Structure 1
């Protein structure tokens, strides 16, 4: 099984932590880099090959991961000369990928079963499958609905729930084949194009642990909760 890890971003929102390190290499629990945890998980779930799509501070990622043998994985690299967004990097090495494969951001901490996601994608024959999570957002204001200048509904500081992308996807090579190489192309572009053609992506709903480490607050939370989550994030180590 083949996984692609998107690790080329500049991590601007996570500064100052990413001033000298690419985001996938920031430490979690003072013991592991995010990327280390992801690679351990992929090996545990039976993946054998990983392609790292890299860009910003790529030499540090190459030095840390090497050929992947530390995780009993075969790792290769695709380096972008200019930012290509989420899907664009995949198009440059699409012919090297199997019919179905996993794609994930290099800054995600989750106990999602990646094999179950990939199996679901293959079974439902979707053009794309997105792992989704219900994110609750607390609104700090009273919300209003109006009709012809009159308030018809009022809710004091509601909590709203949204289905969001986890940054983990199952994809098929034939879905991406029609798109041009070497131009920026994001997940949003792909989803909107598929919807416009009536090819609906599938959702793989997940209710376990998920944290997208995009902001300093998220990073601090990841470190605070790591020891309590160690056994689910690193199941192979828990069995030792």
Structure 2
């Protein structure tokens, strides 16, 4: 994805200035935005040529010549979906917008085929016991259970690598030798893999205190027992554009009360809601942290990620949520594992 600051225009921009933006840039497109950075449309040299034929001059504004109905994707659209849209619609660029229509970045088709290598590190928490999946985990750590004929953890690694995130740290504990023997230094998977060994349970954030070289760039932290087709580049772009200390990926969860709910005030019934559905956002187990967060993690103690976020909030640090719209499965129980087996080929195919 491309940095879009240099290709933004407003409706008051002149055709002459638009030509300079399009001609100087490698992406050959300009994004027309309003004062709130919401995407209004796009402009290409083809749009300008057609305007000149109609009699527009270089000093005229672009207000009446830009394309007002461009194809866009949201921040949760996977790289594979974006590439398919580009191919099917025969387009070279697709703007990325959030749920408010604010432009976040720009996909270029060639970049989708040749992902940029990111320096940002990925920390995978893979030391859990997997007690709720026994007896499957009696001899195998949960991240190494097979889903789609490969370990869960292999799919996670391959997904990150496909987006150019190749510097991976695995925090291991239970049966760590199985994980280390399988992945080695990561070269067979296109990655550079290091290991942090926990000699006791340290929670989803505590193990970060064991990192030798602490990340200088924003870095991912992800539980090693979930499958998702999230676009990791979009999460990073969101973190950077939002200027927050940390981002937590969240998943919408609906809960239907199986009974009619009776609302009472002073013993009198005011209304009855038949099997109401309540909506929540739940923690999806995927995070991005700025390096500044590391100072808040206690050394050599059990510390979970929600504790870190609560601490950041108490310190008036800005923390953000990134809603997941695609596939997400937390493989915590046996029925989750069975469902993941059914879903795998349809969602992931061959990575």
With normalisation by structure 2, the TM-score equals 0.63
SS at match of 2:296: coil
Residue equivalent to 1:11: 130
The one of 60, 81, 93 aligned to 2:211: 93
Residue equivalent to 2:166: 48
Residue equivalent to 1:133: 251
The one of 113, 133, 152 aligned to 1:34: 152
Work out the number of aligned pairs and report it: 232
Q: What displacement does 1:158 show?
A: 2.5
Residues 51, 78 of structure 1: 8 Å contact kept: yes
Tell me, yes or no, if structure 1 residue 118 matches structure 2 residue 236.
Answer: yes
Residues 127, 199 of structure 1: 8 Å contact kept: yes
Distance, in Å, in 1 between the alignment partners of 2:270 and 2:261 is 11
Residues 124, 223 of structure 2: 8 Å contact kept: yes
Tell me, yes or no, if structure 1 residue 158 matches structure 2 residue 276.
Answer: yes
Q: What displacement does 1:94 show?
A: 6.0
Root-mean-square deviation (Å): 1.5
SS at match of 1:144: strand
Name which structure has the greater RCO, CA cutoff 8 Å, separation 6+: 1
Q: What displacement does 1:127 show?
A: 1.0
SS at match of 1:181: coil
Q: Detail structure 1 runs of 4+ shifted over 4 Å in the superposition.
A: none
Distance, in Å, in 2 between the alignment partners of 1:173 and 1:220 is 37
After superposition, what is the alpha-carbon deviation per residue over 1:58-111, rounded to whole angstroms, capped at 9, x for unaligned? 111111111111111010000111111011001211633232111101011111
Distance, in Å, in 2 between the alignment partners of 1:177 and 1:99 is 14
Residues 245, 317 of structure 2: 8 Å contact kept: yes
Structure number with larger C-alpha Rg: 2
Q: Which moved more, 1:162-171 or 1:149-158?
A: 149-158
Tell me, yes or no, if structure 1 residue 204 matches structure 2 residue 328.
Answer: no
Q: What are structure 2's unaligned runs of at least 5 residues?
A: 1-119
Q: What are structure 1's unaligned runs of at least 5 residues?
A: none
Residue equivalent to 2:140: 21
Distance, in Å, in 2 between the alignment partners of 1:203 and 1:224 is 29
Distance, in Å, in 1 between the alignment partners of 2:156 and 2:242 is 26
Residues 94, 177 of structure 1: 8 Å contact kept: no
Distance, in Å, in 1 between the alignment partners of 2:294 and 2:158 is 28
Higher strand share: 1
After superposition, what is the alpha-carbon deviation per residue over 1:154-203, rounded to whole angstroms, capped at 9, x for unaligned? 22222322111111111111122233210111112112111222223101
Distance, in Å, in 2 between the alignment partners of 1:66 and 1:162 is 40
